[in-house]
Structures are given as structure tokens and as C-alpha cells.
Amino acid sequence: MFIAGLLPFILLIINALIDRLGANPIDTIIRDTGQWTLLFLILTLCVRPLSQLMDWYQLRFNLRRMLGLYAFFYGSLHFLSYFGFEHFFDWADMLDDILTRPALAIGLIAFVLMVPLAITSNRIIKKRLGGRRWKRLHKLIYLIAIGGVLHFWLLVEAKADVFMPLIYAIILSGLFLVRYPPVMTWLKKNVTFSK
Ligand code: HEM
């Protein structure tokens, strides 16, 4: 999983080195890293229902942390490439842009909310925080995922192509639905999985 998670990054570097990022490399980098951030967020949210369906609880702790950290890794690359390539690390210039584009403001809020989750993913900090507080804090992932999909939706809305954000919104709704205990109980009765 660790190597698989790094592959998109390695491919991006290779494509940059051999000049295969298309006519607008900066756009490609920002878009690709945005896509990977959202995908890893969704994958992180898949772990809990899957581990419940498979009665495989060890999967939850090991995999969820790694996928969540990859979401943060790609989110950081996404933000830094926007901040660096489009605004040359000029805070005032970036804020001007963000304040006039709600889609970017939502993206920024989602990214900022990822920071405490990444910090507290460390086992020692998790222990210090206590299980209940940690769980409550990590519920922020739902808000982050909604923010990510909304950010994507608003960005592509102007181009009248909301197909992909719509797919993400449907998947996200499904992932919320399976968190409702009666739905999970029904699934456990009717869906069989083997490890
Ligand atoms: C959880 C946080 C975030 C997620 C999940 C996310 C996800 C995405 C996705 C899926 C795209 C569309 C890629 C495409 O068109 O194929 C995108 C584009 C973009 N994002 Fe984000 N993003 C996040 C945070 C941010 C932040 C913090 C910023 C900067 C403040 C930002 C700036 C942009 C920009 C400039 C684009 C390209 C827009 C365009 O094509 O005109 N994003 N993002």
C-alpha cells in the first residue's frame, strides 16, 4: 500500500522530467494532485465499512492511517503547487485570489482541517489525546470530504462538466449511508466477504 500510494507522485515526477505533462504542466500538476487528494480521502472513508463487512478490524487501523496520510500528502502537494506556481509563494496575492473564488476558499478550509488530523494520526499523540477525543476530532474527515467534492464541483461547474464531481458525490453519499447502523446490519446479513 505504501508503494502503491507513492506511484502517482513518482509518475508525476517522471512525466515532468521527460516533459510529458501536456501543454500546461502547471495545470496538470495542480489537477492531478487535486484528483489524488480526493481519491485518497474517499479510499480512507471506504476502510471502516469494508473492515466491518469483512470482520477484519486490524485492516481498519493499519490501512486507514496510511490512506489518510496519503490524502494529506497529495493535498499538501496540491496546495503548494497552487501557492508556488500560481502565486510564487506570495500570501497576499494568493489571498486576493481565494477571496474572490469561493471554490478555492472551500478547498483551503478543507485542507486546513486536514492538518490536525494528520498531526494526531501519530500513535503517541493519539494516546495522549484519548480515544474519545481523537474519534470526535477525526469525524472532521466527513466535512473535509464534503468540502473536497464541493470544491471540485464549483471549479468545474463553469465548464458545465460536473460528471466527475457528481460521481464523487454519489460515492460519498453511499459511504455516509453505510455508516447508518441498520444499513450496515442489512449489508452484513446479505453480503458475504472472505478475507
Ligand atoms: C481537501 C482539499 C482539496 C481537495 C480534495 C481538492 C481537490 C481538487 C480537485 C479534485 C480538483 C479538480 C481537478 C480536475 O479538474 O481534474 C482541484 C482543482 C484545483 N484545486 Fe483543489 N483540492 C483541495 C484543496 C485545494 C486548495 C487548498 C487549493 C488552493 C487554495 C486548491 C486549488 C485548486 C486549483 C487552483 C485547482 C485547479 C482549478 C482549475 O482547473 O482551474 N485546492 N482540486
Ligand 1 center from residue 176 Cα (angstroms): 22
Determine the Cα–Cα distance for residues 104 and 22; give it in Å rounded to an integer. 24
Does residue 31 fall inside a structural domain? yes
Ligand 1 center from residue 50 Cα (angstroms): 28
The conformational region for residue 159 under phi > 0 = left, psi -120 to 50 = alpha, else beta, is alpha
Residue range 139-156: mean pLDDT, rounded: 97
The pLDDT assigned to 193 comes to 67
Atom of ligand 1 nearest to the CA of 165: 10
The pLDDT assigned to 194 comes to 59
Is the four-CA dihedral 23, 97, 37, 8 of positive or negative sign?
A: positive
CA nearest ligand 1 atom 20, residue: 34
Name the least confident of 54-58, 69-73, 168-172.
54-58
The pLDDT assigned to 72 comes to 98
Residue 195 has pLDDT above 60, yes or no: no
Residue 67 has pLDDT above 80, yes or no: yes
Are the beta carbons of 103 and 155 closer than 8 angstroms? yes
- Which residue type, as a one-letter code, is found at position 25? P
Residue 3 has pLDDT above 70, yes or no: yes
Does residue 19 fall inside a structural domain? yes
Does residue 195 fall inside a structural domain? no
Does residue 114 fall inside a structural domain? yes
Ligand 1 center from residue 133 Cα (angstroms): 30
Ligand 1 and 79: CB distance under 6 A: yes
Is the four-CA dihedral 24, 27, 33, 39 of positive or negative sign?
A: negative
First to last CA, the chain: 17
Q: Which 3 state secondary structure label does DSSP give 74?
A: helix
Ligand 1 center from residue 189 Cα (angstroms): 39
Residue range 42-62: mean pLDDT, rounded: 87
- Number of structural domains in the chain: 1
Neighbours of 34 (CB within 10 A): 22
CA nearest ligand 1 atom 21, residue: 34
CA nearest ligand 1 atom 4, residue: 148
Question: For the segment 99-126, what is each residue's pLDDT rounded down to a tens digit?
Answer: 999 999 999 999 999 999 999 998 899 9
Q: Which domain holds residue 174?
A: 2-190
